[in-house]
Amino acid sequence: MSDDKPSLEVRNLVKHFPIHGGLLQRQTGTVRAVDGVTFSIRRGETLGVVGESGCGKSTVGKTVLKLLEPTAGEILLDGVDVTDFSPGQMWSHRRQIQTVFQDPYSSMNPRMRAGDIVGEPLENFGLARGKAKDEQVASLFQRVGLRPENMRKFTHEFSGGQRQRLGIAKALAVNPEVIVADEPVSALDVSVQAQVLNLLIDLQEEYKLAYLFISHDLGVMRHISHRIAVMYLGRVVELTDKRTLFTRPLHPYTEALLSAAPVPDPARKRARRIILPGDVPSPAKPPSGCHFHTRCPYAIAECKTVDPKLLEVAPGHQVACIRRPVGTDFAPLTPTQ
């Protein structure tokens, strides 16, 4: 493991789902859930993926984990191209990349004891068994803030926050490099959410973990991420460090998204709330050209035909918008509608 190679790298990742319909269940269309996504994550770094429901966040996560076969593109784990690995080949690399879900309950066997759930991967990967395993599980429990006595309990006896801690302990058990966390705190109340976010941050610093952190919550994003990728209809429209993203967003969608989120401060006068018209179009029928042109306040005629590429328009700042070309200044755009 070296520091120059990214822990996880994804190039032009595409995942399409066929839509079947009619009597014969013939393929009648394609959901372009992920439509050419590129990013990389270094050790100890969190890349946040944010966007509205259906924009493809979870599909990116599942494809990177190879729970879904990519339609095209490349996935590199610690420099090794695992895109075409068979499940058998993937097995040895599986340890390196683990996952934490939104609802750990649904992914845990209700008839297994908590200690066995966390210890299972240790056994599966032949890392520890018997007493050694129990000791390791106990220390994992402690590390995530659960009392080792709780190892004998069943998952339904835990609260939402505790179950999420269990999920984190299970992911940590095999000492991974990368953790894909898909909305890991979305089901939790604010007071418990803070506990879990702090735990994730501590663990990252301790083990130099790389996080692919998926969330629709912009507050959580700003807190946990180092860099953030904003997705819209299967594509990354902007990717940069979080401070730049929150203070000087360049993509019109990012700008609207940030302005739309309610802020818990009645004294703060918002500069200008951008209310986007209409709904997010279906990824089965994305608009031509720039996917955002049907809702974009700054759209010009070319936006309907030109497919904007994600370009590094300023150092470390990638944007996919024809009105934000390379070398753009950060001046506001003039609305066209």
- Per CB under 8 A, residues contacting other proteins are 52-53, 159, 161, 189-195, 197-198, 201, 216-224, 243, 246-247, 256-268, 273, 275-276, 279-280
56 interacts with, out of ligand SF4, other proteins, ligand ATP, none, CB within 5 to 8 A per kind: ligand ATP
Instruction: Extract the tokens encoding 65.
Output: 């984990």
Q: Which does 216 bind (CB under 5 to 8 A by kind): Mg ion, ligand SF4, ligand ATP, none?
A: ligand ATP
Residues that bind ligand SF4 (CB under 6 A): 252, 290, 292-293, 296, 298-299, 303, 308, 321-323
Q: What are phi and psi of 77, to 5 degrees?
A: -105, 115
Smaller CB distance to ligand SF4: residue 101 or 298?
A: 298
Residues 6+ apart with CB under 8 A from 321: 237, 250, 251, 252, 290, 308
| Cβ-proximal residues to 104 (8 Å cutoff; 6+ apart), any chain | 155, 163, 164, 166, 167
Residue 213: CB minimum distance to Mg ion, A: 12
Of 19 and 80, nearer to ligand ATP (C-beta) is 19
**# residues contacting ligand ATP (CB under 6 A):** 13
Tell me the closest approach of the beta carbon of residue 314 to ligand SF4, in angstroms: 16
Q: Write out the two tokens for 156.
A: 């339904």
Residue least distant from Mg ion (Cβ):
58
Q: Taking the complex as a whole, how short is the minimal distance between the CB of residue 146 and ligand ATP, in angstroms?
A: 27
Closer residue to ligand SF4 (CB): 215 or 294: 294
Dist. CA 243–CA 248, nearest whole Å: 8
In angstroms, give the least distance from the CB of 17 to ligand SF4.
24
Residue 230: other Cβ atoms inside 10 A: 26
Helix (H/G/I), strand (E/B), else coil: 231: strand
Q: Please, are residues 308 and 321 in contact by the beta-carbon 8 Å criterion?
A: yes
Binding partner at 178 among ligand SF4, ligand ATP, other proteins, none, C-beta below 5 to 8 Å by kind: none
Residue recorded with tokens 């370009």:
311
CB count in 10 Å sphere of residue 275: 8
Asked if 63 interacts with Mg ion (CB under 5 A), we say: no
Beta-carbon contacts of residue 271 (< 8 Å; ≥ 6 apart):
259
Positions touching ligand ATP (CB under 6 A) are 17, 31, 33, 51, 53-59, 216, 283
